[in-house]
Amino acid sequence: MLDDFHKGLEPSTTTQDGSGLRILIVHTRWNSAIVQGLVDGAKKTMIEQHNVKPENIVIESVPGAYELPFAAKKLLEVSQIRAAEGASDLMGNVNLLDGLNLTSPTTTTPGSAPPVSGGAGAKRSRQAFDAVICIGVLIKGSTMHFEYICEAVSQGIMRVGLDSGVPVIFGVLTCLNEEQALSRAGLDKAGKGHNHGIDWGSGAVEMALLKNRTL
Ligand code: DLZ
């Protein structure tokens, strides 16, 4: 074993300043207790380590992991339409989407900050999302369901990122049992696990900055 072997994500050597970024987290309600730990880890890391403004982190939920790619794609598109509308505003044009409530009403995450977008009349940000984190926990059962969902979700999430040009972080644990999932959310009884949400938060900021980089 190498002495300096670092298991997992090696931290970036450059400062990753996320103060100008807007990030979307889409998470599942399946396995919600574990998912909540991962969402909290990602959010806390983005705010405390990368200076992302709490009001620039939007959290939405879907039923299960299979729904993550669709939701990420749809919410990204809505944010891009809103941003284009904002640019149009500046040029004195008419807003075709005014009056439409295109975002889902609230985050359903217990204990998380109130939503910053959505709801008729709510003040909407004109900045499109710079990155998306899809968070879920798939636990293998006794049928082939797990394999099909894992394959579909991983392919779907990658496709949304490549098609949109906006980085989408694969924050989906694919575990053989609940113990593995608890450990990877830093929720194991022994306290030896690691919350992968931390890595996903840092990864989203790094990739968003990469997307916005002008060479
Ligand atoms: C149906 C199902 C099963 C068996 N297991 C999980 C799981 O471990 N994690 C998860 O996020 N979702 C699961 N689902 C639900 C599917 O992702 C999906 O919501 C439904 O098949 C409806 O499309």
ipTM for the assembly: 0.99
DSSP lists the bridge partners of residue 170 as: 134
Residue type, 24: L
* Alpha-carbon gap, residue 208 to 118, rounded angstroms: 22
Q: Which amino acid is at 199?
A: D
Backbone angles phi, psi at 137, to 5 degrees: -135, 115
For the chain, what is the mean pLDDT? 86
What confidence category does residue 14 fall into, taking pLDDT thresholds of 50, 70 and 90? confident
171: which strand partners? 135
Residue 99: is it exposed, middle or buried by C-beta count within 10 angstroms (0-12/13-18/19+)?
exposed
What distance in angstroms lies between residue 64's CA and the mean position of ligand 1's atoms?
A: 5
pLDDT surpassing 60 at residue 51: yes
Residue 135 C-alpha to ligand 1 middle, in angstroms? 13
Residues 6+ positions from 163 with CB-CB distance below 8 Å: 73
Model confidence pLDDT, tens digit, residues 53-93: 999 999 999 999 999 999 999 999 999 999 998 877 766 65
pLDDT in tens, 147-187: 999 999 999 999 999 999 999 999 999 999 999 999 999 99
**Domain definitions of the chain by residue range:** 23-212
What CATH fold (topology level) applies to the domain 23-212?
A: Rossmann fold (3.40.50)
Q: Which atom of ligand 1 is nearest to the CA of 28?
A: 11
Amino acid code (one letter) for 123 = K
